[in-house]
Amino acid sequence: MDACRNAAHRSAWTVDVRRANYSAFNGYHRTPSPYSQVRCHTCGAVWRTKAAYVDELPDSPPRRACRACAGAADTACRICHQAYCGNCLTDHHHEGYGSPATG
């Protein structure tokens, strides 16, 4: 995860996860942490930091998470209706039944 270093992009930075993390180690449950996950909506960079500037950034808009990898879901299984990214849907047991994600 490389941080965005372009000062012109700073207005496009938002906080995905504020002072917490979700990991396999803790069962993907929210765990308090001094670090926050920041996203640049211009270049797509995502990074974790405990820098003070995080307090000045807005929260990221809500997004559906892929059931398999927790990335951004851009499709859903037509059979079980679970949200998936395009990469993970091809590995899903209902492969090929994707439809655009809603809501």
Six-digit token pair at 91? 């590995």
Per-domain boundaries in the chain? 7-56, 63-103
pLDDT tops 80 at residue 7: yes
Q: What is the pLDDT of residue 103?
A: 44
Q: What are phi and psi of 40, to 5 degrees?
A: -100, 120
pLDDT digits (tens, 9 = 90+) for 10-62: 999 999 999 998 877 877 788 999 999 999 989 989 999 999 999 999 998 87
Q: Quick one: tokens of 67?
A: 């059931």
Q: If you search the block for the tokens 């998470």, which residue do you land on?
A: 65
- In this prediction, residue 1 carries a pLDDT of 65
pTM for this model (two decimals): 0.62
